[in-house]
Amino acid sequence: MFGLNARDTSLLIVVAILALCAPFILNPFPQGSAMAQFNAGYPDLMQRFVIFGIFAIGFNILFGLTGYLSFGHAAFLGVGSYSAVWMFKLLSMNVIPAILLSVIVAGLFALLIGYVSLRRSGIYFSILTLAFAQMSFALAYSVLTPITNGETGLQLSLNDPRILGVSQTADGSIPVTNLFGLEMRGTYQMDVGPWMFQFNAGYYLSALIMLIAFYLSIRIFRSPFGMMLRAVKSNQQRMNYTGLNARPYTLAAFVISGMYAGLAGGLLASMDPLAGAERMQWTASGEVVLMTILGGAGTLIGPILGAGFIKYFENIFSKINDTVLHQWFGFLPDGLEDFVVFIVHPFIGKGWHLTLGILFMLVVIFLPGGLVQGGQKIGKWLRGNKAGEDDASKASTKPAE
């Protein structure tokens, strides 16, 4: 189906089902219960799951296939956000032109940076991309202030000269982003007993685009172009000896990856029309590296899992505080309760990075293939146990000779 083999089609269907049912899957606990704080089914967070999933999918095309580690991909995320906000200010509040412009501008910017950076490989390539990203970050804060609005960030105003739309609504407020009239912030809430499920228009648009991006990444992975990129990762020097020039392939992968990042930046601005230079900082580039490696570099679904895992930690796990811990361990004697809270305290709240770092270290040591490898090992273990039980049952029913 769609030019994919049975296995890839099944994977695409699984991702589509997960994206469609996310409001239910991410809200497993009733509202008001002690575990409700672990729910992640509110629109803003669900949007970030899929948008940063797109960012990680694109990065995986470069890093997972070619082995080129870029520490500057946040520059394309920021450029995409700025482009989208400018489109909202000058043309229309429809998200389609903004997203298209963000992809195009990020692709051109990636072409420029990639053309220079790919003259080197290994750590030198990584340093060059980091330098370009930090240079972009500094320019957005200083020289390009008329375009980026400096540290305040680029945002909409009531005086925007919007060509295909109004500058302000009838009640004097700023218009909201929409898809041919469907507001991105529009949310339908469904209450089922103690559960509350939210269905947001912006989330489903982002999820649909993520599915398209995921499908395209599968086609790239399975194409002759993808095989050439794997050859670059395997042994680029041997590839050069055969007379093949690897640079056009790596540059194409870099540009495609940058366009994915620009798409993610455009979607971020479409959901919340604000663009700041902090999206271009080196920490944002490091985050997408963590997402890809944690989920499984070079795998199809791994980057999506890694993006969801890190964003969940950032938005949910980081909110656990001492008050919550005292509720959890209230059954313990007072002295022991305070001691347990004292031990756990550095790993929650503002210390969530420490917990994430430890988990990342454990994954790198014991699961080099990331969360995908962990899932594969669990699957093999379960299949092995089932096979062992079947063999045992057959042996028990075999007649004695």
CA atoms of 297 and 370, how far apart (whole Å): 7
What pLDDT shows up at residue 396?
A: 45
Query: Which residues on adjacent β-strands are paired with residue 190?
Result: 197
| CA angle (260 as vertex; 4, 74 as ends), nearest 5 | 145
Q: How confident is the model at residue 67 (pLDDT cuts 50, 70, 90)?
A: very high
CA atoms of 13 and 215, how far apart (whole Å): 10
Rounded to whole angstroms, the maximal C-alpha distance in the chain is: 93
Asked whether residue 397 carries a pLDDT value surpassing 50, the answer given is no
Q: Are 297 and 363 in contact (CB under 8 A)?
A: no
* CA-closest candidate to residue 360, choices 372, 345, 371: 371
Q: Are 257 and 75 in contact (CB under 8 A)?
A: no
Strands annotated E in 139-284:
154-155, 178-179, 182-183, 187-192, 195-200, 274-275
Q: How confident is the model at residue 398 (pLDDT cuts 50, 70, 90)?
A: very low
pLDDT in tens, 49-60: 999 999 999 999
Phi, psi of 5 (to 5 degrees): -75, 175
- The dihedral sign for the CA sequence 375, 376, 381, 382: positive
**More confident: 266 or 328:** 266
Domain segments of the chain: what residues?
44-294
Q: Are strands 195-200 and 187-192 parallel, antiparallel or unpaired?
A: antiparallel
**More confident: 290 or 172:** 290
CA atoms of 317 and 244, how far apart (whole Å): 48
Helix (H, G, I), strand (E, B) or coil at 2: coil
**More confident: 325 or 9:** 9
Phi, psi of 110 (to 5 degrees): -65, -35
pLDDT in tens, 197-251: 999 999 999 999 999 999 999 999 999 999 999 999 988 888 888 888 889 999 9
Provide the CB-side half-sphere exposure for 48 (13 A, CA).
17
What pLDDT shows up at residue 237?
A: 84
CA atoms of 86 and 270, how far apart (whole Å): 11
Q: Are 59 and 226 in contact (CB under 8 A)?
A: no
Asked whether residue 261 carries a pLDDT value surpassing 80, the answer given is yes
Asked whether residue 308 carries a pLDDT value surpassing 50, the answer given is yes
Q: How far is CA 21 from the centre of its chain?
A: 18
What pLDDT shows up at residue 389?
A: 57
CA atoms of 52 and 310, how far apart (whole Å): 10
Q: Are 208 and 49 in contact (CB under 8 A)?
A: no
* Residues contacting residue 376 through CB under 8 Å, at least 6 positions apart: 369
CA atoms of 18 and 197, how far apart (whole Å): 15
Mean of the per-residue pLDDT values for the chain? Answer: 89
Q: Are 26 and 40 in contact (CB under 8 A)?
A: yes
Q: How confident is the model at residue 401 (pLDDT cuts 50, 70, 90)?
A: very low
Among all chains, which residue has been given the structure tokens 């604000």? 274
Strands annotated E in 337-378:
none
Tokens for 62, please give them: 């470069």
* CA-closest candidate to residue 216, choices 69, 8, 10: 8
pLDDT in tens, 375-385: 888 888 888 87
Highest mean pLDDT among 116-120, 134-138, 240-244, 253-257: 253-257
Q: Are 87 and 97 in contact (CB under 8 A)?
A: yes
Count of CB atoms situated within 10 Å of the CB of 356:
19
Tokens for 72, please give them: 């500057």
Asked whether residue 393 carries a pLDDT value surpassing 70, the answer given is no
* CA-closest candidate to residue 271, choices 50, 60, 72, 21: 50
What pLDDT shows up at residue 160?
A: 87
Q: How confident is the model at residue 400 (pLDDT cuts 50, 70, 90)?
A: very low
